[in-house]
Structure 1
Amino acid sequence: MSNLIHLKSNSKLSPKHIEFNKLVQTIEKLRDELSREEQKLEIFSEYYVKNILPLMETNAITAMDLALVLDEVATQIKLPKAVITDMEIIIPELINKYFEYKAPDEKAKALFEKWADVEYDEMVREEKEEQLEELSDFMQSMGIDIDLGDLDFDDPESLGKIHERLHQAKVDIDEKLANRKTSRKKTKKQLEAEEISKIQEELKNKNLRSVYLSLAKILHPDSETDPELKAEKEKS
């Protein structure tokens, strides 16, 4: 439904109404473009799931089959040391490609550990720790203090909790930035007015010593950095 402002033909639109109509038209145009892009994305996603993903999974299974064949060849035939060295790189890479689309099973993990000379579960744990450390360092560099110690990339519930923490951290940062922006905008007169308000509050509490110190801070010439205001205070 259009939000355009329509008046009688003999009436003239004000500049604000004209600008409003332009903005509404722009929003409606962007909304239509977004709808078309979402439809395209849905079509591409369906095509990927239906046509591309099965091919990628088949390719991963083929990679695993090739790794098994190479392992069998190395077992049955005495290969040169240089070839064995190459296979120590190729076979783990083939198995890793399989793990991208298929859950690691004991047979595949055992073959990986044989040629990579590393325990698979331990390697995965170390990789996750490195990812967490990198993510934590990035968050800190952005001024976000958040605990990622219990994050599990494979657990949707864990990822959901981290998402909530990130959202809350963003809210906190936005509030801090807003407060800083507000404080930067305060003029010297506004700051002095705040000091006077504090004095009035202290008067209510009959804290005469605090009142005297606050007045001295505001009125003493040495506390003024502006030359003209300093001269006025020296005259008073």
Structure 2
Amino acid sequence: MSISIAHDHTPSALSKARKTFNSLIGQIGKRRKRPRDWETVTPVFQKQYVDEILPLDKTSAQLQARMVRRLDQAHDQLTQAERRKVALVIVDLAGDLIGGEDDEGQMKIIHDRYSPESYDSQVAAEVDGMKSMIETMFGVDLGDDEDLNSPEDLLQRAQVHLQQAQAQWESENVQRDTRRAKRKKSSRQQAAEARAQEQQAQVNLSLRGVYRKLASALHPDRETDPQERERKTCLMQRVNEAYQKNNLLQLLELQLELEHIDQHALNGLSEERLKHYNTILRGQVRELDQEILHVESAFRDAYGMDPFGPISPDTVLRDLASEIGEFQNNIRTLEQDLAAFEDVRNLKLWLKRCKLVRARPEFEFAPF
């Protein structure tokens, strides 16, 4: 059911509270749709991810490992300048493959053969840098244990420390609030608290008023007809659920559905009542935002996506199709280059075309 307030068919004449009410109803409608869209798109995304992305990722990793070994074998046949370029390619490719599903330690050996710094040293430096940054940003001491062997280990340790710090902060906050509550409050503070409590009481009464009207009309025990009693029982369950969640919009929708109110009644809501309704609706918007954040964070975690990048149920399948296409193109190129590099002359030609950028070559493989 559509909920909105009109005023003499001239929206420009609506009061601020009425405009706010309509705006909040619209915001809630959009936010309600978002989790439902995720429920629809997630199974489709998951199937494509499992059926297409994972096999392509595995094939790509296998081809890159073959390329690393091919370049390693050809290294001694190259000039000194060519060796410098191919070493950078090997280090970059092998570094990404270390610890992968099919890696048995060979990639680290090859990586360290061509890198001025071992892979383990690089990881240790990365962990140390992250550790210093986290300690500085959050004011925690992560300790000097030697079991922090990877960024993942460090992040797990940091999460534990941050949770402990959060618990301590909350405990101290409770104690501080308790001490403040025991202090004698000024007349101004007492008046402000009284106003806030009165306002909250009025908000609760407004919500309870809608609920009571519905409950009175739907109470199944008053119904003698079995079918009608069952219908009212189901409706009453919806009413109770909405009331428990402070879901004013759903209660108003139920009133419209049951014809307990009409557009004229909505248009005639008092300014004071609308202010109370708007307070409740703002809370619903915040709760829906938290629900959406939880759903989308879980989706990002499940598929290794950028935790801060934009994401939408309207675009994830299109983005996935684009990623599949890129995988397929890269795999074709790798296969062609592996075949071409059987002849070291083709490798030399490719290295000649590579451009050094910040002391690194652009090593996008191009088919011959």
State the TM bucket, normalised to the shorter chain. Answer: 0.5 to 0.7
Distance 1:66 1:161, change over 3 A: closer
Residue 70 of structure 1: how far off its partner (Å): 1.1
Aligned counterpart, 2:82: 83
Distance in 1 (CA, whole Å) between partners of 2:81 and 2:133 is 36
Matches within 5 A, 1:31-46: 31-46=32-47
Q: 1:139 to 1:98 in 2, by over 3 A?
A: same
Q: What's 1:51 paired with? A: 52
Structure 1 pair 24/105, CA: closer, same or farther in 2 (3 Å)? same
The match for 2:285 is none
**What is the match of residue 124 of structure 1?**
123
Shift of residue 114, structure 1, vs aligned partner: 0.9
Q: Is the 1:64–1:95 Cα contact (8 Å) retained in structure 2?
A: yes
Structure 2 counterpart SS, 1:68: helix
On the 8 A contact 1:91/1:112 being kept in 2, the answer is: yes
* 2:118 maps to amino acid: E
Q: Offset of 1:49 from its aligned partner? A: 2.7
1:92 matched residue in structure 2: 91
2:35 counterpart of 1:62:
no
Alignment partner of 1:133 is 2:132: yes
Which residues in structure 2 correspond to 1:183-202 (within 5 Å)?
A: 189=186
**One-letter code aligned to 1:87:** V
What is residue 200 of structure 2 aligned with on the other side?
none
Q: CA deviation at 1:115?
A: 0.8
Which amino acid in structure 2 is aligned with residue 102 of structure 1? E
Deviation at 1:103, TM superposition (A): 6.3
Structure 2 Cα separation of the partners of residues 165 and 38 of structure 1: 34
Q: Percent identity?
A: 20
Q: How far apart, in 1, do the equivalents of 2:72 and 2:97 lie?
A: 15
Q: Is the 8 A contact 2:124 2:149 kept in 1?
A: no
Q: Pick the structure with greater CA Rg.
A: 1
Deviation at 1:132, TM superposition (A): 2.0
| Structure 1 residues 131 and 63: alpha-carbon distance in aligned structure 2, compared to 1, 3 A threshold | same
User: 2:142 — aligned with what?
Assistant: 147
TM-score normalised to structure 2 length: 0.36
Q: Aligned-pair distance for 1:164?
A: 3.8
Does the 8 Å CA contact 2:68/2:93 hold for their aligned counterparts?
yes
How many residue pairs get matched? 166
CA distance in 2, matches of 1:155, 1:130: 10
Give CA-to-partner distance per residue, 1:149-168, whole Å, 9 cap, x none. 45747698986564343223
One-letter identity of the residue aligned with 2:44:
I
Report which structure shows greater RCO (CA 8 Å, sep ≥6): 2
Cα distance in 2, alignment partners of residues 137 and 129 from structure 1: 12
Q: Matches of 2:43 and 2:149 in 1, distance apart?
A: 26
Aligned twin of 1:163: 159
Partner of residue 71, structure 1: 72
Asked if 1:107 corresponds to 2:106, the answer is: yes
Contact 2:98–2:105 under 8 Å retained in 1: no
Distance 1:170 1:48, change over 3 A: same
How far 1:100 sits from its partner (Å)? 6.8
How far does residue 29 in structure 1 lie from its aligned partner after superposition?
6.9
- Structure 1 residues 127 and 188 mapped into 2: Cα distance closer, same or farther (>3 Å)? same
Residues 175-203 of structure 1, C-alpha deviations (whole Å, 9 max, x = no match): 667859x97xx99948xxxxxxxxxxxxx
**Counterpart amino acid of residue 56 in structure 1:** D
Q: Per-residue CA shift, 1:177-233, capped at 9, x if unaligned?
A: 7859x97xx99948xxxxxxxxxxxxxxxxxxxxxxxxxxxxxxxxxxxxxxxxxxx
- The one-letter amino acid of 1:106's match is G
Unaligned runs of 5+ in 2: 1-19, 188-368
Contact 1:136-1:148 within 8 A present in 2 as well: no
Structure-2 change in CA distance of 1:32 and 1:153 (3 Å):
farther
CA contact (8 A) 1:63 1:97 kept: no
Q: Distance in 1 between matches of 2:152 and 2:116?
A: 31
Give the equivalent residue in structure 2 for 1:194: none
- For residue 27 of structure 1, report the CA deviation from its aligned partner: 6.2
Q: Could you say what secondary structure the match of 1:147 adopts?
A: coil
Alpha-carbon deviations, 1:115-155, whole Å to 9, x = none?
11332223322222222222222223xxxx35264574769
**In 2, Cα distance between equivalents of 1:34 and 1:171:** 30
